[in-house]
Amino acid sequence: MTSLNPVRGTQDILPEEGRLYRRVEETAFEVAERYGFGEITTPIFEFTEVFSRTLGDTSDIVTKEMYTFEDKGGDQITLRPEGTAGVARAFISNGLQQNLPLKLFYRGPMFRYERPQKGRRRQFRQVGVEILGVATPQADIETISIAQTFLEELGLKDYIKLELNSLGDTDSRSAYCDELVKYLSDHQDKLSKDSLERLDRNPMRILDSKDEGDQAVVVDAPRLQDNLNEASQSFFEDLCEGLTKLGIVFEHNTNLVRGLDYYCHTAFEFKTSDLGAQGTVLAGGRYDGLVGQMGGPETPGIGWAAGVERLSLLLDDGAEAKRPIAVIPVGGKAESEAMVVTEMLRKKGYRVDLGYSGNLKKRMKRANRLNAVAAVLLGEDELTRNVGTLRNMDSGEQKEVSLETLEDHLALYK
Ligand code: ATP
Ligand code: MG
């Protein structure tokens, strides 16, 4: 073994943090169910083609970030870098086109080989939704509104901002690309090395560049929004109108493009200013060509994914854990009786801690550290009378209670 540290960019999730992650994932799932989504779980690895053919040979994910290996049977396998391609593959493999429109939710780990930073890891978790089979902006509105509700339920309403753009349909996009390339070619000397590479393969990505020199060039670039054909324009107008009707506030960011090739029409991101360069917490868009491109029946789709770690960084842990009840035996003979009482309470649904050893003082300290709401002290003498002492850990108030009625007294703390 070379090292006992986890591999760079991966981490062990300890209980405290795990609780936050679970809150994010369960909130997402609960909201998704309310909006009529069912959960799908696809494998965390797929044939490499599932991603390379759909994400586009020029995307950062495919060119730089995939964990790909040959397995013992000689198959090219990739740990999934995102969820949509796998869902689209599952849609085709399972013949789900009979069930359209389809609303699916997913959660789970994703893998990307990138430079680890706060909110950027090589193994990270996403929650996401997809709507398949709806070509009208209704699905775009619903998809964005579920995202908004999800983030609101996490208490993030005041920390996030929705940015929206239209990438247009295929015709608009290719007409625009030609113009953009013409403009950028005239400014090649000012573009970064990365962007020069993108110029041939994926010029729209340059709009999204974080390089300052690129950004200066992009400011005066022709704008996609001026090149949208009528159909694309009215699609976008309907979307904006629908969102406004639902009270969803957004900003039209004309430079917002998504990193993957399969997007069209709607692209959106929920951003926060609190996480530096990792400010995008939830991102999505429409991908009408994806399923067809994979070899399935032409099926429109739209969805989003959110980074669970990034969202967790924005949550405060305040009063997160449910407070336990501490059962504290005082004296050796009380130990086994304490176990019986503990077990009885746990079976009734209480969260109970029974320290394994130590004197009263040590055990009280443990109860405090666990933020116990109450303690049940069981002394040897008391047990002969079948009573114990119930202590309110906040007020310090104590009273003797019969063990038979213990549960009635504890109901207050459940
Ligand atoms: P970025 O611009 O930050 O690299 P992205 O465009 O690659 O984001 P998406 O592919 O849209 O991200 O993924 C959706 C969400 O998943 C992101 O908004 C982010 O919250 C989260 N995410 C993406 N990559 C990572 C990562 N390496 N570590 C943690 N979270 C991530
Ligand atoms: Mg990325």
User: Does 331 share its domain with 383?
Assistant: yes
User: Does 239 share its domain with 379?
Assistant: no
Is 191 domain-assigned?
no
What tokens does 65 get? 């970030």
Is 223 domain-assigned?
no
Least-confidence region, from 15-19, 313-317, 349-353:
313-317
Nearest CA to ligand 1 atom 28: 120
Q: What is the pLDDT of residues 257-290, one digit of tens each?
A: 875 667 889 999 999 987 777 789 999 999 998 9
Nearest CA to ligand 1 atom 12: 283
**Ligand 1 atom nearest to CA at 278:** 3
Final residue belonging to a domain, choices 312, 337, 366: 312
Phi, psi of 107 (to 5 degrees): -150, 155
Look at residue 258 in the predicted model and tell me its pLDDT.
72
Query: Domain of 51: which CATH number?
Result: 3.30.930.10
Nearest CA to ligand 1 atom 24: 120
Is 215 domain-assigned?
no
Is 268 domain-assigned?
yes
User: Residue 157 Cα, ligand 2 centroid: separation in angstroms?
Assistant: 24
Q: Ligand 1 in contact with 112 (CB < 6 A)? A: yes
**Residue 177 — pLDDT band, cuts 50, 70, 90?**
confident
The residue-averaged pLDDT of 29-45 equals 98
User: Does 333 share its domain with 278?
Assistant: no
Final residue belonging to a domain, choices 312, 341, 376: 312
Per the structure, how many domains does the chain have?
A: 2
Nearest CA to ligand 1 atom 7: 259
**Residue 208 — pLDDT band, cuts 50, 70, 90?**
confident
The residue-averaged pLDDT of 368-391 equals 94
Q: What is the pLDDT of residues 79-124, one digit of tens each?
A: 999 999 999 999 999 999 998 999 999 999 999 999 999 999 999 9
Q: What is the pLDDT of residues 289-304, one digit of tens each?
A: 899 989 999 999 999 9
User: Does 349 share its domain with 289?
Assistant: no
**Residue 320 — pLDDT band, cuts 50, 70, 90?**
low
- To the nearest whole number, what is the mean pLDDT of the chain? 91
Q: Ligand 1 in contact with 120 (CB < 6 A)? A: yes
Q: Ligand 1 in contact with 280 (CB < 6 A)? A: yes
Give 357's DSSP letter. S
The residue-averaged pLDDT of 166-181 equals 88
User: Does 107 share its domain with 36?
Assistant: yes
Record the pTM: 0.88
3-state secondary structure of 11: coil
Is 209 domain-assigned?
no
**Ligand 1 atom nearest to CA at 112:** 27
Helices 193-201 and 170-185: crossing angle in degrees, nearest 10, is: 140
Q: Ligand 1 in contact with 309 (CB < 6 A)? A: yes
**Ligand 1 atom nearest to CA at 122:** 27
What tokens does 39 get? 């959960």
Phi, psi of 146 (to 5 degrees): -65, -35
Confidence check: pLDDT of 56 > 80: no
Give the mutation target among 10, 13, 79, 126 for probing the ligand 1 site: most ligand atoms within 8 A of CB. 126
As a dihedral over the C-alpha atoms of residue 336, residue 342, residue 344, residue 348, rounded to 10 degrees, the angle is -170
Final residue belonging to a domain, choices 312, 334, 360: 312
User: What is the Cα 181 distance to its own chain's centre?
Assistant: 35
> DSSP assignment of 94-145, as one string?
TTGGGG-SEEEEEEEEEE-----BTTB-SEEEEEEEEEES--SHHHHHHHHH
Query: pLDDT: is 197 or 278 the higher one?
Result: 197
Is 216 domain-assigned?
no
User: Residue 307 Cα, ligand 1 centroid: separation in angstroms?
Assistant: 6
Half-sphere exposure of 342 (CA within 13 A, CB side): 20
Give the structural domain span for 379: 325-413
User: Does 308 share its domain with 362?
Assistant: no
Q: Ligand 1 in contact with 60 (CB < 6 A)? A: no
Q: Ligand 1 in contact with 9 (CB < 6 A)? A: no
Least-confidence region, from 58-62, 78-82, 324-328, 391-395:
58-62
Is 206 domain-assigned?
no
Cα distances (Å, whole numbers) of residue 398 to 122, 159, 314, 377, 394: 51, 44, 39, 10, 11
User: Does 46 share its domain with 125?
Assistant: yes
User: Does 162 share its domain with 281?
Assistant: yes
**Residue 2 — pLDDT band, cuts 50, 70, 90?**
low
Query: Domain of 390: which CATH number?
Result: 3.40.50.800
User: Does 96 share its domain with 235?
Assistant: yes
User: Does 252 share its domain with 108?
Assistant: yes
Is 224 domain-assigned?
no
User: Residue 125 Cα, ligand 2 centroid: separation in angstroms?
Assistant: 13
User: Does 303 share its domain with 392?
Assistant: no
Q: Ligand 1 in contact with 337 (CB < 6 A)? A: no
> DSSP assignment of 229-260, as one string?
-HHHHHHHHHHHHHHHHTT---EE-TT---SS
Q: What is the pLDDT of residues 241-256, one digit of tens each?
A: 999 999 999 999 988 8
User: Does 237 share its domain with 137?
Assistant: yes
251-252 and 264-271 beta bridge pairing: unpaired
Side chain identity at residue 248, one-letter code: I
